Amino acid sequence: MTSPLENKHLSFFDYEHDPAWRVFRIMAEFVQGLTFLSRLEKTVTFFGSARLHEDNPYYQMARTIGYRCAEKGYTVVTGGGPGIMMAGNQGAYEAGGMSVGINIKLPFEEAANPYVKQHEDFHYFFSRKFMLDYSAQAYLFFPGGFGTLDELFTVLTLIQTGKMEPPIPPMVLIGSEFWGGLVSWITQTLRDEFQTISPTDLSLFKIVDDIEEVMRIVTEAEERTVR
């Protein structure tokens, strides 16, 4: 039960029913999130399914890449949940590196996986999504569902429309068996048949199957940033 003082506070700050107070809650999430991100250096953001378990090859690949990134001093940033997110965090954690979670508060998921060292929680998907997309040195996309696809096309659109300041971080799609069909559809339907994208838009991302190639792309992105 809540105390009379808590009830008064909840009735005054009615985030759920009063749109005006909801705006302040959104503003607070952006301020807290950007302040949190400003303390991180050399971030690599991992995206991927929450449903892939430890016995999945892509889980182990994400874990290895997370480890390798942390060894080189990169901060591994994920959505903080299970699956691929936990794999990236686990690798960074095991390497003794910085493992970060940008969490969404959901009734059917735990707050953060056990390998997250620092985290920030969000109520709204759009504010959490902004933080995951903000200012990474590289974006790594593993197999995933609607959320992963949403993040992929959001970042691609930001780059395509010039809303992301140079140097543009690399977009790495990991797993040709998963991403190949989508890229074929983008190429044949969007580019060739309907011409709804520019031919050069296909250069905004790269499909990679090899861990060494992923690491080469990440480190080369750092070198461009330093220059």
Q: Which residues have a Cβ under 8 Å from the Cβ of 180 and sit 6 or more positions away?
A: 207
Model pLDDT, residue 224: 74
Give the model's pLDDT for residue 222: 85
How is residue 187 annotated by DSSP? Answer: I
Residue 167 CA from chain centroid, whole number: 18
Q: Where are the beta strands (DSSP E) in 105-187?
A: 118-122, 138-141, 171-174
**Residue range 41-226, CATH number:** 3.40.50.450
Q: Give the whole-angstrom CA distance, residue 66 versus residue 158.
A: 25
Structure confidence at residue 8 (pLDDT): 45
pLDDT of amino acid 108: 65
What is residue 226's predicted lDDT score, i.e. its pLDDT?
62
* Beta carbons of 46 and 144 less than 8 angstroms apart: no
Tokens 């390998």 sit on residue: 115
pLDDT tens for the chain, 227 residues long, are 555 544 544 455 565 667 777 888 899 999 999 999 999 999 999 999 999 999 999 999 999 999 999 999 999 999 999 999 999 999 999 999 999 999 988 766 657 899 999 999 998 999 999 999 987 999 999 999 999 999 999 999 999 999 998 889 999 999 999 999 999 999 999 999 999 999 999 999 999 999 999 999 999 998 876 65
pLDDT reported for residue 60: 98
Domain range annotation of the chain = 1-39, 41-226
Q: In this structure, are residues 152 and 47 in contact, taking their beta carbons and an 8 Å threshold?
A: yes
Evaluate whether 72 touches 33 at the Cβ level (below 8 Å): no
CA distance 141 to 47: 5
